[in-house]
């Protein structure tokens, strides 16, 4: 090992080696001077050396050498120039991202074909299977180009987060890198890495809570620190929804609630609104329409309190959702806690809040008409004919956030017709029921009748003595 008198000498030697194409030797030269105890006083030359060192680490795909150098550089500049460390890390990640993007273009965008877990190398079994399968040579070559760069980029993000964690001077950079890592998971559809990233952030937060309070440690008693963690978790929740990683989305909502409980502070109004909007998406995906409606009601209230001077469009867009439907109640206590509700919501309480807040006044016209037909008027024989034009009008608007409600509204209308019909008839032919509920075919309508009977919405018996007729048991 050469003992360099000055860092400048090592930099000059590395440039000479690069000029003759000896990149690995140049990297080793720079690595020696960074790790040398003799050169621990920061200077601008150190930053140049680190930039060149990390550039070579990216080019040669040497994540371990990059990690060692970054940890040493943190010791060198932490006391005197934290901004230098930030610049070096961001430049390093930018170079790695650029290489991954180039590999993606070269491999014809075969993101989905890359190994499921980047932390696991290709096993002999997988290599043998690929060799005997019908996979073409071009496909294997494309994947072999992209996979190493994705693995390197993932390792770079993880190492940088480990380097920056629990350090008050690098707190902002830590959260910035975390969001960059989330973007990586979304861009390359890395669900396995996303779960690991979330677990790593949880572990870092636990370590902060357990570690002794020193001058450089992050303090969760600081409101700005809590706000940063909440903002990062909200970003994490958004990525989880986009990746359709629903289990991780639920775990993230628990993380957010724990941060709120720990800090005894609610989210900022705009963050609170974003949180409720994302929760509504999760509940909708889980087919839990009651809590979906409760989340939207919370979203409506948050916006009303946050923005006193609402424009008409904002009111209509938020109020469009609040048409209540019957739904199964699962995990009520847990889901209620996520919404900061003292008791689980019910259809009756949600309708009561809807009236109290006069939400119907702010809703778009089709939503107002649906509310009137489904909740106020009693017209079972004509209900379908009244709401069909309204549903077509909603469909013509073309907004996905509106169209997603059409099928559930049809089911709700069908159940409403059955219930009201049972109140005025003792029996009705199945063909007649099919004509006043034209949304579904015979088999699906039978399924809905059975569902309504199980839920005690109606008391019904499909007679075996008189086929084709439905007898209601009115009490």
For every residue of 14-83, DSSP letters joined together read: HHHHHHTT-HHHHHHHHHHHHH-TT--S--HHHHHHHHHHHHHHHHHT-HHHHHHHHHHHHHHHTTT-HH
**What class does CATH assign to 370-475?**
mainly alpha
pLDDT of residue 202: 95
pLDDT of residue 393: 92
From 170, 166, 26, 10, select the one nearest 90 (Cα to Cα).
170
Question: Is the separation of the CB atoms in 239 and 182 below 8 Å?
Answer: yes
Query: Taking the alpha carbons of 106, 112, 116, 122 in that order, is the dihedral positive or negative?
Result: negative
Within the chain, all domains assigned CATH 1.10.10 are found at 370-475
* Distance separating alpha carbons of residues 123 and 5, to the nearest angstrom: 46
User: What b/e readout covers 236-255, taking b as 16+ CB neighbours within 10 angstroms?
Assistant: bbbbbbebebeebbbbbbeb
pLDDT of residue 341: 76
pLDDT of residue 130: 55
pLDDT of residue 159: 95
Question: Is the separation of the CB atoms in 253 and 282 below 8 Å?
Answer: yes
Helix (H, G, I), strand (E, B) or coil at 320: coil
Counting as low any pLDDT under 50, the low residues of the chain are 137, 309-313, 322-330, 464-465, 475
pLDDT of residue 291: 87
């Amino acid at each position: 090992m050469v003992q360099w008198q000055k860092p400048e000498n090592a930099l000059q030697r590395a440039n000479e080696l690069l000029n003759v194409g000896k990149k690995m030797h140049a990297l080793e030269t720079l690595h020696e001077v960074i790790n040398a105890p003799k050169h621990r006083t920061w200077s601008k030359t150190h930053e140049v050396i680190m930039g060149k060192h990390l550039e070579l680490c990216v080019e040669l795909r040497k994540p371990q050498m990059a990690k060692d150098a970054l940890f040493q550089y943190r010791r060198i500049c932490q006391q005197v120039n934290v901004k230098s460390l930030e610049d070096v890390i961001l430049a390093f990640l930018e170079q790695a991202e650029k290489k991954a993007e180039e590999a993606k273009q070269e491999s014809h965008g075969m993101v989905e074909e890359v190994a499921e877990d980047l932390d696991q190398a290709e096993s002999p079994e997988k290599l043998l299977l690929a060799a005997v399968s019908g996979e073409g040579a071009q496909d294997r070559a494309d994947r072999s180009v992209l996979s190493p760069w994705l693995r390197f980029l993932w390792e770079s993000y993880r190492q940088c987060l480990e380097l920056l964690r629990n350090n008050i001077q690098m707190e902002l950079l830590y959260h910035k890198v975390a969001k960059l890592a989330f973007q990586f998971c979304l861009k390359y559809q890395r669900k396995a890495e996303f779960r690991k990233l979330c677990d790593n952030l949880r572990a870092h937060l636990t370590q902060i809570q357990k570690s002794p309070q020193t001058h450089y440690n992050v303090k969760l008693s600081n409101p700005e620190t809590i706000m940063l963690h909440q903002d990062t978790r909200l970003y994490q929740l958004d990525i989880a929804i986009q990746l359709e990683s629903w289990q991780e989305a639920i775990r993230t909502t628990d993380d957010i609630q724990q941060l709120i409980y720990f800090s005894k502070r609610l989210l900022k109004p705009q963050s609170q609104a974003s949180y409720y909007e994302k929760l509504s998406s999760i509940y909708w995906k889980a087919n839990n329409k009651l809590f979906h409606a409760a989340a939207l009601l919370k979203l409506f209230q948050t916006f009303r309190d946050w923005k006193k001077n609402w424009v008409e469009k904002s009111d209509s867009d938020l109020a469009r959702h609040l048409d209540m439907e019957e739904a199964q109640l699962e995990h009520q206590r847990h889901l209620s806690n996520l919404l900061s509700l003292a008791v689980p919501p019910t259809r009756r309480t949600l309708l009561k809040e809807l009236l109290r807040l006069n939400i119907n006044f702010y809703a778009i016209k089709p939503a107002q008409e649906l509310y009137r037909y489904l909740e106020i008027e009693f017209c079972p024989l004509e209900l379908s004919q009244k709401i069909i034009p309204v549903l077509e009008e909603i469909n013509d608007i073309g907004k996905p956030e509106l169209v997603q409600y059409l099928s559930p509204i049809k089911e709700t209308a069908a159940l409403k017709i059955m219930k009201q019909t049972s109140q005025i008839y003792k029996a009705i032919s199945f063909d007649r029921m099919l004509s006043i509920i034209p949304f579904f075919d015979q088999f699906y309508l039978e399924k809905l009748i059975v569902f309504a009977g199980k839920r005690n919405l109606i008391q019904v018996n499909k007679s075996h003595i008189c086929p084709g007729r439905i007898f209601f048991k009115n009490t």
